[in-house]
Structure 1
Amino acid sequence: MTVLADLLDGNAAHADAFDDRFDDVQDAQHPDAVTVCCSDSRVLQDEMWGNDDPGHVFTASNIGNRVLQRADGDEVVSGDVLYPIAHTGTETAVVVGHTGCGAVTATYDALTGDAGEEPPGITHCIDLLAPHLEPGVEALPEDADRDGAINRLVEYNVDRQVEFLRDSDDVPADVDVFGVVYDFQDVYGGKRGEVHVINANGERDPETLRDEHSDIAERVHRLWTY
């Protein structure tokens, strides 16, 4: 029980700090943004934004920061991402990939024939990602090493998830959809833990992004333009 006891000690400190921060959101929520992040212990969903304000960010996470799921044989926007857009007035969605993503790695290995056996639940997630990443695998530069291939595909996956949201009839056209990568592996050359913008409403060209979004120009970086 040592781990749980440690977690509960941390929660006690959290409850002390947050005791008076729920007054305005006890009965309803109207988050400014929904983020979908990869399920990874190194991806700190609220902390990466410096957020300690309940009700500000609606956080969703899954293997591979997917915005899609299968329902009745079709691919649809995942309910955990769609809920705040459909029901709480949220008009900003952020897809958050991260360097060295295990889900992207597993999908890359599956597509290149190097995958090992996985439990059915993990295989299901890989199967959801694979059709969307396969064209990216085929487009990789021939001289890309394994790490370089994976991190290029991290960007490619974020782009595909942004595209899926923007193409869905369930997501209103006035919802802004951004794609970013959280870097804790020194891949982008900034500080560890920085978020780098790679996509804004489908635009992927870094120079165009900097021109169109001057307020975040210094945070726009891409490893791969394809």
Structure 2
Amino acid sequence: MDSRILADLLDRNDDHVAALPPGSFDRHRDDQRPGVVSVCCSDSRVSQEGMFAVDEPGYLFTSGAIGNSVSAVVDGERVLDGSVAYPLGHTHTEVLAVVGHTGCGAVDAALTAARTGEFPSEPGVRADVEALLPIVEDGLSDPRVGGGAADGKGGDAAGENRGDGAGPSLRDRLVEHNVHEQVAFARGREEAADATVYGFVYDLHGAYGDRDGAVYLVNADGERDPAALRDLVGEERADHVGTLLGR
């Protein structure tokens, strides 16, 4: 038993309590109406509240999932995950933000599976990677993503972890492709019919720009064209629009 970690957690909670302004929960004790539900990859480097500077309760409904997946399998059918469907249906939430991140280990595992047939040994992790596999395989066959490497062995296969400035890595192009696919899946579900769905990539590898921790808008309700997205966000925020995929 690691009591040092326990002590650290409790001390951090004391800091959290001390930082909360008086009355922070007054409007939310018995109800919540978050404006946004965010689905981000399960990763210690990617803080959902942190990336959007959320320091007050009630603004962001958060869901973490391997590969920032918005779906779950129920009775053999792939459906919108409950942690997404719930706020859209029950807390008056109108915006869904799907957030991938550069250097995603889940996408990397699915890429390995596409190439070698090898999956992680843990059943739960394997199931999540298996769900990503068709998306990665589709990306590998897309010239904009994998350069037509349908078997996962061509294209930029040597550069999935590249950080040498020679261009975006295959892994990070697949990350963006996965965000597009997750957005498309959500938009196709009845529970999200009235929601606005945005797709972002959180950059911690300098793939989209030179600001660690910046989020880049890559999709807005299915719109992927960077010029259209820059028009949407306006000139002041145009540096938050990007893509690694050719058009």
TM-score, length-scaled by structure 1:
0.95
The unaligned stretches of length 5 or more in structure 1 are none
Task: Specify the SS of the correspondent of 2:190.
Answer: coil
User: Which runs of at least 4 in structure 1 moved beyond 6 Å after TM superposition?
Assistant: none
Q: Which residue of 2 aligns with 1:103?
A: 106
**Are positions 1:146 and 2:167 aligned together?**
no
- Deviations 1:17-75, CA, capped at 9 Å, x for gaps: 22531111011000000000000000011011011110000000011100001001010
Q: Which residue of 2 aligns with 1:7?
A: 9
Which amino acid in the other structure matches residue 6 of structure 2?
L
The more displaced of 184-193 and 36-45 is 184-193
% identical aligned pairs: 44
Q: Which residue of 1 aligns with 2:71?
A: 68
Q: Is the 8 A contact 1:204 1:225 kept in 2?
A: no
Q: Which residue of 1 aligns with 2:227?
A: 207
User: Aligned-residue CA RMSD in angstroms?
Assistant: 1.5
Per-residue deviation, 1:213: 3.5
Q: Which residue of 2 aligns with 1:46?
A: 49
Which amino acid in the other structure matches residue 82 of structure 1?
A
Within the candidate set 187, 196, 217, 1:197 is matched to 217
Per-residue deviation, 1:114: 6.1
Which amino acid in the other structure matches residue 12 of structure 1?
D
Alignment of 1:175-186 (within 5 A): 175-186=195-206
- Deviations 1:51-101, CA, capped at 9 Å, x for gaps: 111000000001110000100101000001111000011010000000000
Which amino acid in the other structure matches residue 217 of structure 2?
V
TM-score, length-scaled by structure 2:
0.87
- Deviations 1:157-197, CA, capped at 9 Å, x for gaps: 0000000011112212x311000000111111231000011
**Are positions 1:82 and 2:118 aligned together?**
no
Q: Is the 8 A contact 2:33 2:58 kept in 1?
A: yes
Task: Specify the SS of the correspondent of 1:64.
Answer: helix
